[in-house]
Structure 1
Amino acid sequence: MAERYRIGNVGPMQLTETAEQRLQQELIVWLTTVTPTGRPQTSPVWFLWKGGEFLIYSLAETARVRNLRANPHVALNFDGDGVGGAVVTFEGVARIDDAAPPASAMPEYVEKYRDGMARNEWTPEVFSSRYSVPIRITPRRVRSW
C-alpha cells in the first residue's frame, strides 16, 4: 500500500511501494539543480529520506549550493534498469537548513553511509566537517514506473 505524505499546499503525494522501497534502500540519488543561466547541473549525492523529505549534506563551496541559493527548484531521480523501467523521479523545492544537526549526529545517516565513509577514510566527524551544508528537499511531485 502506498504511503501518503502531505507536501506543502499541493495535497497528498502518493508513493508507490517501489518508490518507498527505493527511498529506504538506495544509496545514491541524482540531484539536478539549475544554474543562474538556466542550465541543469546533475550530481550523485548521498541522502536520507526522513519525514517526507530528502536530507542531503553538501560541501560548502559547490555549484550545487550556489545554484540552490539562487533557485530552490530541483529534480531528483534514481538510476533506472537500463531499458526504460524502474524509473522514479521527484520534483521539489530545496532549502539550506542551518538548524539541521551535522551528519555525525544522525545515527541513521551514519549507519547508512558507514561503508562509504570508511572507503574514503572518513570518520563521521570528518565527513561532517567537510559536508557541512545540510540541504532539505521537499518533493512536490513523484513519478514512477
Structure 2
Amino acid sequence: MTAAQRRGRRIMMTDEERDAFLAEARTCRVATVSPDGRPHVAPLWYVWQGGSLWLYSITRSRRWAQLGKGPRVAVVVDDGTEYGQLRGVELSGSVVPVGEAPRTGLPCPELTEVERLFAVKNFGLAEMVHDGRHAWLRLAPDTIVSWDFRKLGGAFRR
C-alpha cells in the first residue's frame, strides 16, 4: 500500500490522471545509492502496469550492481517546459528482479503483459525482442507523489 500524498493536494493528479500519464510517458530517471553513499541517477525506459513500475535495465550497469546491494530506489517521470506546464510523478520503494537475468525470453507469466506493453510502447512491435543484456525490475511503490501545475490555471509566480 502506498503512502498518501499530504502536500500539494491542489496540484496532485487523480489516480486516473497519474495512470494515464505513466502509461503515456516513456522515460523515467532512476536514482540509486551505492553502499558507500554515492548517488547515481540515470534514464531508463519503463512500463506502468498493475500498480507497479516495471524497469528494463542492463544487467551490467552501475544501477543493477547498486540494486543488488540495496534494492531502494526513487524514480521520477516528468514533463513540461514552462513552469505552468510542469507535471510528474515521483515513486519510491524497493525493486525486485522478475524473470531470468539477463532476460532471454524463457516463459514467465508475470512478464507476459509487461513485455507486450513495453514492445508496443517503445519499439512499435507486437512482441518483445530479448537481447540477453537486460532484465526486469518491479517497483511496487511505497510512496507516490504527483504534481500537475496546469491545474493552477496560470495562478503562479515566476
**TM bucket, shorter chain:** 0.7 to 0.9
Deviation of 1:43 after TM superposition, in Å, equals 1.0
Quote the residue 1:41 is aligned against.
Answer: 40
Matches within 5 A, 1:111-126: 111-114=120-123, 124-125=128-129
Larger radius of gyration: 2
Deviation of 1:130 after TM superposition, in Å, equals 4.2
Is 2:118–2:128's contact at 8 Å kept on the other side of the alignment? no
The Cα offsets for residues 21-53 of structure 1, whole Å up to 9 and x where unpaired, read as 211100111111111111221111111111111
Is 2:3–2:143's contact at 8 Å kept on the other side of the alignment? no
The TM-score with structure 1 as length reference comes to 0.73
Matches within 5 A, 1:74-113: 74-82=73-81, 83=83, 85-98=86-99, 102=105, 106-113=115-122
The TM-score with structure 2 as length reference comes to 0.68
Identity %: 24
- Indicate the structure whose relative CO is greater, using CA pairs within 8 Å and at least 6 residues apart: 2
Is 1:59–1:130's contact at 8 Å kept on the other side of the alignment? no
Quote the residue 1:142 is aligned against.
Answer: 144
Unaligned runs of 5+ in 2: 6-12, 106-110, 148-158
Cα distance between partner residues in 2 of 1:12 and 1:79: 20
Task: Give the superposed CA RMSD.
Answer: 3.0
Structure 1 141/11 Cα, relative in aligned 2: closer, same or farther at 3 Å? closer
Q: How many residues align?
A: 129
